[in-house]
Amino acid sequence: MNKKRYFLDPPEVKDYLVKGERFTKWSETVPVTMKMDPKGFYVYWTNQSKETTFLDVATIRDTRTGKYAKLPKVIRNVFNLDFPDSNHLAKTLTIVSGPDMVNLTYHNFFASKEKVTQNWADGILATAYNAARSNACRQVFLEKIYIRISLQTNKDGKIPVKNIYKMFPADKKRVESALASAHLPKGKVGNQKIPCFLFLNPSKFQSMPNSFFTLFFLTKCDMKI
């Protein structure tokens, strides 16, 4: 008797999450553009100074909108959000993240348009609680690291090597050795063009043993194909 097999599908990231939307972040009271990468690993927002903040989707515990969003009392009074006819409350969005359900951080945003926050809240939460991500293989986590690195480019479209060091602060000597093994710049002030990192995904990892990205992580993590 043949048993039916079930497969876990990766999250389907909505187009509006990838394209991004304009928000105001309450803590800094500055306009930002918030997006999610096409693979659904990170939610990130960029301010007017081109500074980008990343939030690992795996750490997201909840999303809240409307009256359930967590807002500073001063903001609530200024915008008169408790007034019955106020439409500002529908533009609020709170993303709750943390290593567990106790130690939580609240990221509070205010959308520039109406009828945006509920879609964003649903889309982010659906990606965060995708079952395939909770049972991912090694290649998925390698791809996740690649996505993070490739999103941190400078104005010239290059990847600052210092960002790679920041991702692995506990073992700088091994990072330097891995960069050298992959024939990449190892100085902290050096830059590396994105095309030098061949795109990594689970289906191509085995067939690209000589890619710069693959060589770097095989050396860094002392792995074998």
Q: What is the pLDDT of residues 84-117, one digit of tens each?
A: 555 677 888 999 999 988 999 999 998 988 789 9
CATH for 138-220, among 3.30.420.340, 1.20.1250.20, 3.90.1150.10, 2.30.29.240?
2.30.29.240
User: Do 138-220 and 15-134 fall under one CATH topology?
Assistant: yes
pTM of structure: 0.78
Tens digit of pLDDT for each residue in 10-62? 889 999 999 999 998 887 778 999 999 999 999 999 998 888 899 999 999 99
| E strands present in 112-185 | 158-160
CATH for 15-134, among 1.10.3470.10, 3.10.20.30, 2.60.120.260, 2.30.29.240?
2.30.29.240
Could you give the angle at the alpha carbon of 106 between the alpha carbons of 45 and 121, nearest 5°? 65
The pLDDT confidence band at residue 76, using thresholds 50, 70 and 90, is: low
Residue 76 C-alpha from the chain's centroid: 29
Q: What is the DSSP letter of 100?
A: S
- Domain edges within the chain: 15-134, 138-220
Tens digit of pLDDT for each residue in 156-200? 777 777 777 787 777 777 777 777 776 667 665 555 544 444 434
* Interatomic CA distance for residues 58 and 128, integer angstroms: 6
One-letter amino acid at 61 equals R
